[in-house]
Amino acid sequence: MGKVILVVPEAPVPAPAAAAEGRKAAKGGLRLGVLDNSKGNADHLLRFITEGVKAALPVASVVSLRKGSVSLPAPGDILDQLARESDFVVSAMAD
């Protein structure tokens, strides 16, 4: 009998990212970042999440940005803006 090669089509589990230590919310409330991946209904889901966060926590501002393409990663300038102007970022996909 010939040699059998077993292929497991699973990607390796990525290492967890380090937590952003010392990152605190602004004194007037959270600066919430929202990243829409441009899939259908993602804007509705993110609006629902944003309203829920606002009802539960003090929110000073919301920065809402949208990716240009669902199939490509967010451009660096969008990620940089979210990092500068947000304490926390929510991203979601929907259909």
Three-state secondary-structure class, residue 82: helix
Integer Cα distance of 8 and 57 in angstroms? 44
pLDDT of residue 24: 63
Q: What is the pTM of this model?
A: 0.69
Give the burial class of 18: count Cβ atoms within 10 A of its Cβ; 0-12 exposed, 13-18 middle, 19 or more buried: exposed
CB atoms within 10 A of CB 78: 16
Question: pLDDT value at position 26?
Answer: 60
**pLDDT of amino acid 32:** 95
The 10s digit of each residue's pLDDT in 7-59 is 777 877 777 776 655 556 667 899 999 999 888 888 899 999 999 999 999 99
What counts of helices (H) and strands (E) characterise the chain? Answer: 2, 3
* pLDDT for res 25: 61
pLDDT of residue 16: 75
